[in-house]
Amino acid sequence: MQAKLKCGLLLLLCAGAASAQIYRWKDARGVTHFSDMPPATAVPVAKIDSRDGASSAPGLPFALARAVKSNPVTLFTTAQCAACDQGRAMLQTRGIPYAEKTVSNANDHAALRQAGSASQLPLLLVGSGKFIGYEQTTWDAALTAASYPLQAMLPPDYRPTPPRPAAPTSDAGPRVGDENDARRTQLPEPKAAPDFQF
C-alpha cells in the first residue's frame, strides 16, 4: 500500500514538473538566463516548450512543429502548371505547412536554378532534399522520412502564407558598395515567359 502511495505521489510531482513553463531572456550584459519564473524587469521574454527545450512553431501540434523546424518544406511553382497544382493539392491534403515560391520572370528563374532545378517545375525542397517534378509516391516518402505526420494535423484556424516570388524585388535598392553585386544579380525582365518543363 505504501509503495502505491509513493508511486502516486511521484507521478503527481512529475506531472507538475512536466507542465512547468520555462522562460528565456537576456539581461543588460547579454547573458542568457533560463528560469521557471519570468524576470522581474521588463525585458523581452521567450517562452520555451519544456517538452524538448526548444520553441516550436506557433499553433502547430508538437510533432508537426518539430518536423517544420528541422525540415522546412518549400514548393517552387509557376502559373498554368498542372503538375504544380497536383503537388500543391497533395501538400494541402496531407496538411503540410509549406512556403510557395512562384517563378514568372528571369530573376525567379535564376533563383530556381540556384535552388536546384534548371527549368523543371514543380521543385519540392524538404529540408536539404530536392525533388524535381511531381511524383506523389516520392514526395510522400520524403515527407515521411522528414518526420511529417501521415495524417493532416493542422489546426482549424491555420492559415498558410501566400505564395511569394522566388526572387522578391527589393524597394530599398542596392546599398553603398553593392553596385557591382547588384549588376551581377539583377537580370533583365524577359520579353516572353521562360521555358519550363513540366
Q: What is the CATH number of the domain that holds 89?
A: 3.40.30.10
Strand-by-strand arrangement of the 99-102 sheet? 129-132, 123-126, 73-77, 99-102, 164-165
**pLDDT greater at residue 68 or residue 57:** 68
pLDDT of residue 59: 81
Q: How confident is the model at residue 53 (pLDDT cuts 50, 70, 90)?
A: very low
* Long-range contacts at 144-149 (CB < 8 A, ≥ 24 apart): 146/67, 146/70, 146/71, 146/73, 147/63, 147/66, 147/67, 147/70, 147/71, 148/64, 148/67, 148/71, 148/73, 148/94, 148/96, 149/61, 149/63, 149/64, 149/67, 149/95
Residue 130 lies in a domain: yes
Q: Is the peptide bond before 122 cis (omega within 30 degrees of 0)?
A: yes
The answer to whether position 71 is within a domain reads yes
Does any domain span residue 32? no
Residue range 77-133, pLDDT digits in tens: 999 999 999 999 999 999 999 999 999 999 999 999 999 998 899 999 999 999 999
pLDDT tens, position by position, 1-17: 566 555 554 554 454 44
Asked if residue 131 is part of any domain, the answer here is yes
Between 49 and 163, name the one with better pLDDT. Answer: 163
At residue 38, the pLDDT reads 64
Domain count, the chain: 1
CA pair distance 119, 64, nearest whole angstrom:
31
Look at residue 138 and tell me whether its pLDDT is greater than 50: yes
Please list the alpha-helical segments (H only) found in the chain: 2-18, 62-70, 82-94, 106-115, 136-145, 179-185
107 within some domain: yes
Residue range(s) defining the domain that contains residue 121: 67-151+161-169
Give a yes or no: residue 128 inside a domain. Answer: yes
Please compute the mean of the pLDDT values over residues 64-79 and round it to a whole number: 95
pLDDT of the residue at 182: 43
Cell triple for residue 132?
A: 524535381
Domain assignment present for 136:
yes
Q: What is the DSSP string of 74-118?
A: EEEE-SS-HHHHHHHHHHHHHT---EEEE--SHHHHHHHHHHT-S
Is residue 92 domain-resident?
A: yes
pTM: 0.60
Q: Is the pLDDT of residue 46 over 50?
A: no
